[in-house]
Amino acid sequence: MNVAVFRAPLRSRRDEVDHSRAVEWALDRHVVAVGGLLSPPPTCLVAAVERLAEVDERTALRLDRFAAVPRGAFVWTRHPDGDLWLGRIEGRWTYDDSAEAAELDLPHVRACHWSAHPAPLSEVPGAVLATFERGGRNFQQTHGHDVEEQTWQLWGELAA
């Protein structure tokens, strides 16, 4: 089964935001998220993308791509302590206007079923490890030999 695999850093572009807290917040809230604060909160995705485009076209494009990822896609995130967590996107885009989402600069959210435990590092696909080693803060698709199949297989073990 071919299901897309993505890297979700869950990391603000603002350096002062506590990355550990952001990852823990997303795992606890069962969401995957990207940044781009808007005030007042947008009422729909189109409005969010249009308003972000007025300020930063690249952020608007990133949000549009994030929202377009199909439900069921896999997402990997890495806690700053090194643990890698695997999830599956379950919901559509929404804007979280909570104070905590604003503080963490992760207001654009989608429901996500995260594994109950981090993945054993020895079982994480090499392409996933490589994409995190390259660094960066963008939500992006992970490509590589058998990354979909390996992720699917690991999901079966972690979600059981």
Confidence check: pLDDT of 160 > 80: no
Tens digit of pLDDT for each residue in 102-123? Answer: 999 999 999 999 999 999 999 9
Average pLDDT, the chain: 95
Counting Cβ atoms within 10 Å, is residue 134 exposed (0-12), middle (13-18) or buried (19+)?
A: exposed
Tens digit of pLDDT for each residue in 77-92? Answer: 999 999 999 999 999 9
Q: What are the distances in angstroms from CA 139 to CA 9, 80, 94, 100, 117?
A: 6, 16, 16, 20, 21
Supply the pTM of this predicted model. 0.94
Q: Helix, strand, or coil here: 99?
A: helix
Fold of 5-158: ph1033 like fold (3.10.590)
Q: Helix, strand, or coil here: 125?
A: coil
